[in-house]
Amino acid sequence: MKFTVATYGTEGDTRPLAALCRALIDAGHETHLLADRATLHAAHALEVPCTPLSGDIQQALAPDEALGAVVGKRGNAQAAVKALASIANANTTAWMREVLAVADGSDAIIWSALASFVGLSIGERLRIPAIGASMIPITPTREFASPFLRPSIVPGFLNRASHPLVNNAIWRAFRGATNKARVDVCSLPLRRRNWTDHPVLYGVSRALLPQPADWPEHALVCGQWTLPAGDDANWTPSDSLVAFLEAGEPPIYIGFGSMAGFDSDRLTNALIEAVDGRRALFYPGWSGVDTSSLPSNFCVIGNTPHTWLFPRVSLVVHHGGAGTTHSATRAGKPSVVVPFAGDQFFWADRLHRLGVAAPAVDGNAPTAATFARAIEFASRSATRARAEELGVAMREEDGLHTAVAAIERLAAAGHELRAVGICPVNAHA
């Protein structure tokens, strides 16, 4: 079968879908991944056919841009939705054309992140299944609130109601540009309501997020999407990194991935004081941090596969993105989480509830004292033991096998629906 996979976001959004594509190829299928150009490293490493989509997510995260401002100014959920919509709405028509050109002849389209409404529309246009593939649990449940809301602000009895509230707010922000592209590119009618009841597969570990009891059949927590060899099969560490790792005890890892726009001077100064001379690896990512000011106990590194690096560190200081959250926990390491926006607060809360991280450090008002307390918690023997326990559970999952089987089943069901004249995208609407 042939599958088109479309996503738009940071590397954390693209990397697991590259792994999913590789697993589908290994199962005998044809796949093509479309994503932001700057996030396609894993796809190239895994030899997954791919095409860049229009736009520049790294530029959108710059401090003077809409999304960067949300990171740097404590933007709330409404501000985050508006910023994300501004990126998508500027590119929706281009994405619709680019994805449609690749998707012709596909048995299903797999969509994620900012390309979600594009993928759903193209599934409708081509009358093929449109399957969600997400690292953020957006299916309504009573067990937790929408991950786009701060965990502490929603009373438990409103958990389920919070999901459609947020999901519909996102749809309203994207609706105008989506409908214009539906008409102009796909010759589809305007759509008034958000999609519901479509299949969504979550590349999320059940050790971190067990399958909610009230989820429907078409929403499935698969397990983390990462290949056994990760994306480091052909990767070789630098001599300087090897020498640093061999020169002493396992260091603290510090990295904030694709985050930018925050007060980097304040954050790094607080971290330097809290680390207090201990060995540390620092990955600047897209942060723009001036690494020349770091002391000698810090070793600055480039983009390094988490699957290779995290087993060699003592703990992981990160922003709470779903990808890094999973990678740290899979490696059996405690976390110090510094969330800035979006679902990062949700993952910070999950790690705290599971006993592998202290309460989150406020990324927009960090202090050496709060970092020091979080590092001390992560260094406790009980915390390390709990992290290793979770890591063992995650390493026993085969999330890709579960996802591939589900995609094959959904694609086959789509063929049956089309045979009797039913559009798979609207089958449950």
Q: What is the pLDDT of residues 230-275, one digit of tens each?
A: 456 567 899 999 999 999 999 999 998 765 556 678 888 999 999 9
Sheet of strand 280-283, all strands in order from the earlier edge strand to the far edge: 298-300, 280-283, 252-255, 315-318, 335-337
The pLDDT value given to residue 235: 77
If one compares 9 and 426, the residue with the highest pLDDT of the two is: 9
More confident residue, 214 or 71: 214
In degrees rounded to 5, what are phi and psi of residue 382?
A: -65, -40
pLDDT interval class at 420 (50, 70, 90): low
Contact 279, 212 (CB under 8 A): no
Residue pLDDT, tens place only, 133-188: 999 999 999 999 999 999 889 999 999 999 999 999 999 999 999 999 999 999 99
User: In this model, does residue 73 exceed pLDDT 50?
Assistant: yes
Position 428 pLDDT exceeds 60:
no
Distance in angstroms (rounded) separating the CA atoms of residues 348 and 330: 15
Same fold, 2-224+398-426 and 239-395: yes
Tell me how far CA of residue 190 lies from CA of 9, 94, 167, 179, in angstroms.
25, 18, 18, 5
What integer pLDDT is reported at residue 65 of this predicted model? 55
What is the model's pLDDT at position 176? 96
The model's confidence at residue 429, banded by pLDDT at 50, 70 and 90, is very low
Tracing tokens 């063929």 back to the chain, one arrives at: 415
pLDDT at 125 over 50: yes
Q: Residue 424 — very low, low, confident or very high, per pLDDT cuts 50/70/90?
A: confident
End-to-end CA distance of the chain: 25
pLDDT digits (tens, 9 = 90+) for 317-363: 999 999 999 999 999 999 999 998 889 999 999 999 999 999 999 88
Looking at per-residue pLDDT, the higher value among 423 and 158 belongs to 158
| Kind of pairing between the strands at 298-300 and 315-318 | unpaired
d(C-alpha 190, C-alpha 410), whole Å = 26
CATH fold of 2-224+398-426 reads Rossmann fold (3.40.50)
Contact criterion met (CB below 8 Å) for 306 and 224? no
Report residue 249 CA to chain centroid gap: 31
**What's the CA gap between 424 and 421, in Å, rounded?**
9
pLDDT tens track for 282-319: 998 766 677 788 899 999 998 888 889 999 999 999 99
* pTM metric for this prediction: 0.90
Say yes or no to pLDDT of 66 above 70: no
Best CA proximity match to 281, nearest among 258, 299, 295: 299
Query: Facing residues of 111 across strands?
Result: 6, 132
Q: So where are the chain's domains?
A: 2-224+398-426, 239-395
For 355-409, the pLDDT digits (tens) are: 999 999 988 888 999 999 999 999 999 999 999 999 999 999 999 999 999 999 9
Is the pLDDT at 69 greater than 80? The verdict is no
- β-strand pairing of 108-111 with 130-134: parallel
Rounded to 5°, the CA angle 206-232-394 comes to 15
pLDDT at 83 over 80: no
pLDDT at residue 44 greater than cutoff 90: yes
H/E run at residue 36:
strand 30-36
Give backbone dihedrals phi and psi of 375, rounded to 5 degrees, phi first. Answer: -65, -40
Residue identified by tokens 């890591």 is: 391
Asked if 194 and 171 count as a contact pair (C-beta separation under 8 A), the reply is yes
Q: 339: helix, coil or strand?
A: coil
- Report the distance separating Cα 215 and Cα 15, nearest Å: 26
The Cα-based distances of 227 to 4, 45, 221, 316, 409 in angstroms read 19, 12, 17, 21, 21
SS3 213: coil
Q: Looking at the domain that runs over 239-395, which CATH code has it been given?
A: 3.40.50.2000
